[in-house]
Chains A and B, each alone.
Chain A
Amino acid sequence: MSWETVIGLEVHAQLSTNTKLFSSASTKFGSEPNTQVDLVDLGLPGVLPVVNKDAFKKAIRFGLAIDADINQESSFDRKNYFYPDLPKGYQITQMTKPIVEGGSIDIDVDGDKKTINITRAHLEEDAGKSIHDAYPDKSVIDLNRAGTPLLEIVSEPEISSAKEAVSYMKALHQLVTFLDVCDGDMSQGSLRCDANVSIRKVGDPELGTRTEIKNINSFRFIEKAINFEIKRQIKVLESGKKVTQETRLYDSGKDETRPMRSKEFANDYRYFPDPDLLPVVISDDEMEEIRSTFPELPADKSRRYISEFQIDESEAEIISSSRELSIFFEVALESKNDPKLAANLIVGEIGSLLNKDNIKIDESKLSSDNFNILLQRISDGTISKKIAKTILAAIWETGRNADEIINEQGLVQIQDENLLEEVITKVIKSNTKQVEDFKNGKDKLFGFFVGQVMKETQGKANPKAVNDLLKKALNS
């Protein structure tokens, strides 16, 4: 029997605001526990939440990017449940009137294009963090994260495989990081996803019973968790049993999903409008301001790079697909550097260093200023492009100034014709056999001579000068 899979994803994107959704405590990641907590986050009696303007701005920017309807009037509701990391006993969310409704995201699975419709995207507050293994008989709570703004992005159940789910998540990741809506750091939980998975017989108009896999926080785990769950459900149905509607957790160590204890989340949230919060209205002027500061998206950027700077299509695509790289590239061009040279180094040498360390450019020791110096030294002939790689590697380790490295290690390019001629004479003298072959028509040997000169000069010879002088010497 053949089965088909139906998946809907609920993605929580932590908005990259400075402060929380309803209090002016910091949202910075990794601080000492309980140091970024406000009276509002503690849920103390008598305090009132006040909405963060920027959280709305970012949510709306996302809505505009996916061509959704923006509800210029939206409101907040209380979702009631008890858990120690939720001090108020309810989570403030947007149940009835979310800020964003509709819209869609295009995905690409091995070259096949597909559009996934978005149901809604709403603002809500995050909970704190519970730690269960610090004491044998106690759980402990860190409320730094409590109240951090989240945008919950809900897709229609239109995703039909684990692969598509990963593509969707990657498209979403690129979009939210580009829009500067979310930092996209999945390992820190900035972007995490719940997957609703069900299967049905091919052609069956009815949806099967679904399970929800909670809090998956890497692209790889999304694929593995969903594939495990599909197999599990098929096995259940083929043995004549029924799938139970439940919430499950993915255990990456065992590569399996298992049910959460149902008592932890009694599904009766008794939503009602939060009386502490008035409806939030976004004026036409505010909408206009958000539209006018809308960032350029990857596809547009790539086209512009090609037409404006004549750089390679593949390089333009790589640079424009990352927000950090495109900023780095554009800053380099502000100082009138050669766009092709900059693009070439960013995609080539810098790209492989980034991959090796698995970091983003703004996490590396290479600053824009230092990259600027390096580019200028290549353009003004002080160093060769080949030596630039050596210098980049040194900057990568130490973060030191490019000029300092050039001077200290004596990497200045040799332009002096007399000096180069000396080296060339030496190379010709010690390779008489090759010179003879060359003169007898073995043109390919020219590269060999260039190589020898470079070797003698530790790569510091100006390649163009070497070419000219070698030609002269060999043809004389």
Chain B
Amino acid sequence: MDNKTVETISYLARLKLDKDKKEKITKDLENIIDFVAELQDLNTEDIVPLSNPLEKVAPKREDSVTSRNRKEAFLSNSPESDQDYFMVPKVVE
């Protein structure tokens, strides 16, 4: 785990890290990777990847509209909005 990788990951996650934090997180991540690296020793050849630990399947929902319009509540809870829309910093210049 090097500095560059940590920088890339933090950029992708939009996390701003100062120098001290970056060093600490690099160490933490290294420890985590070392810890789970033990799994690499296991033979998993005939084992189907487990995407979910619950041995259950997803319930399915009927296709009928039950959700109601709560626009005002949602907009008033956002950092910035006008009457109709959520407002965000300009995305394109």
Q: A51-B61, A140-B87 are in contact. Are A37 and B12 (CB under 8 A)?
A: no
The residue on A at minimum CB distance from B14 is: A82
Cα–Cα, bound, A275→B80 (Å): 31
How many Å from the CB of B29 to the closest CB on chain A?
A: 15
Q: A37-B71, A275-B52 are in contact. Are A139 and B61 (CB under 8 A)?
A: no
A141 sits at the interface (CB 8 A):
yes
Q: Is the CB of A17 within 8 A of B74?
A: no
Q: A42-B74, A53-B60, A273-B52 are in contact. Are A36 and B69 (CB under 8 A)?
A: yes
- Contact flags (1/0) for B65-85 with A, using CB distance below 8 Å? 111011100110000101011
Main secondary structure of the interface of A (DSSP, over half): loop
B42 sits at the interface (CB 8 A):
no
Which of B63, B71, B92 gathers the greatest number of chain A CB atoms within 10 Å?
B63
Q: Is the CB of B65 within 8 A of A54?
A: no
A236 sits at the interface (CB 8 A):
no
Q: Which residues of A contact B63 (CB under 8 A)?
A: 17-19, 52-55
Q: Is the CB of A280 within 8 A of B57?
A: yes
Which of B8, B12, B86, B88 gathers the greatest number of chain A CB atoms within 10 Å?
B86
Q: Which residues of A contact B14 (CB under 8 A)?
A: 82
Residues of B in contact (CB 8 Å), total 34
Cα–Cα, bound, A26→B91 (Å): 27
Main secondary structure of the interface of B (DSSP, over half): loop
Q: Which residues of B contact A359 (CB under 8 A)?
A: none
Cα–Cα, bound, A281→B66 (Å): 24
Q: Is the CB of B71 within 8 A of A19?
A: no
Q: A130-B91, A132-B92, A137-B90 are in contact. Are A38 and B85 (CB under 8 A)?
A: no
How many Å from the CB of A179 to the closest CB on chain B?
A: 16
Q: A37-B74, A139-B91, A278-B52 are in contact. Are A50 and B67 (CB under 8 A)?
A: no
**Could you give 10 example pairs across A and B, Cβ below 8 Å?**
A18-B65, A24-B65, A34-B75, A35-B71, A37-B70, A50-B58, A51-B58, A51-B60, A138-B80, A141-B85
B residues within 8 Å of A by Cβ? 8, 12, 14, 51-52, 54, 56-67, 69-71, 74-75, 80, 82, 84-92
A residues within 8 Å of B by Cβ? 17-19, 23-26, 32-38, 42, 50-56, 73, 75, 80, 82-84, 96, 130-132, 134-135, 137-143, 266, 268, 270, 273, 275, 277-281
Instruction: List 9 additional A-B contacts (Cβ < 8 Å) besides A33-B84, A140-B82.
Output: A34-B74, A37-B67, A50-B61, A51-B59, A56-B60, A137-B90, A142-B84, A266-B12, A268-B12
Top 5 closest pairs, chain A to chain B, by CB? A140-B85, A54-B63, A273-B51, A278-B58, A25-B67
